[in-house]
Structure 1
């Protein structure tokens, strides 16, 4: 099964103080990291794939920080397809690539994309990027993205899948903070936003 998320911002000490982009109510970054990890692993199995659309974490460019991130990412279930966000460094991706390993199904833990990738399912073509794309008039093309945290792009074809996304409210059942969205949940959000825009 495929899942989607963005903007986890693991180890980001600024989240407690910078309310411009994230309203996260945790006393410590460790508490936030653990909450995301726990909720992620309840939803995702080792055989699943999670498309992480950027801003994995915020670290200093030091080897010990990359090792810390590597150890945390190893705890997350599933294969991780990592799309580079504005806070993700090439040095981190190189470190993860150098220390990549195979899971039980003989597929690598980490796969990397600098800009994005395209997936097709449920009669939609999904453009997976960190930054929102303006797709124009396109009936079955949807941009899954992160970057804007608790904001929503004013277009039915743009879906924010980040952990802070207000568009998660289109799901009837509330999901715990940090839980990646399944393909089925993404489609529900897409259809919910389309219905919302038809009423305007």
Structure 2
């Protein structure tokens, strides 16, 4: 799981103090880090704000990334249709969030979760920020060294070993 790559968004380097000298360096580094941990058969949930590039360049990036790719559209993705993202190379696209593994709510923006709700919200959108609650896990690239993180690692953060 991962979110907020912002491929092609030069200003994000300054906005989020990303350690890259150019958007090209950022793109190449993030592709390398993705492919270092994602196998050809792995399923990756991208929780939004994937690319600011046109469809051809977005498709070129997606074709280089390993795995079966699922996009949960973020605020910057919603200006384009589900069809656009599927044609670009995602295998599945959701305009909203989804429940995963019965206990995890995958969304782009963090969702309001009161303490009685039985879900953990895995989200992006807020980049380097973080909620101080075990009900939220931010998978924005800034928190994970620009590398997708395994669901098992996220699950271990909130579910004790004896309950897994």
User: TM-score under structure 1 normalisation?
Assistant: 0.73
Distance 1:158 1:148 in 2: 12
- Cα RMSD after superposing both structures: 2.0
1:84 and 1:130 in contact (8 A); partners too: yes
1:37 and 1:178 in contact (8 A); partners too: no
SS at match of 1:181: coil
User: TM-score under structure 2 normalisation?
Assistant: 0.88
- 2:9 maps to which residue? 12
Count of residues paired in the alignment: 160
- 1:116 maps to which residue? 97
The structure in which a higher percent of residues are strand is 1
- Which structure has the larger Rg? 1
Gaps of 5+ in 2: none
Gaps of 5+ in 1: 60-64, 101-108, 169-176, 193-200
SS at match of 2:60: helix
2:55 and 2:88 in contact (8 A); partners too: no
Distance 2:115 2:85 in 1: 38
1:81 and 1:110 in contact (8 A); partners too: yes
- 1:136 maps to which residue? 114
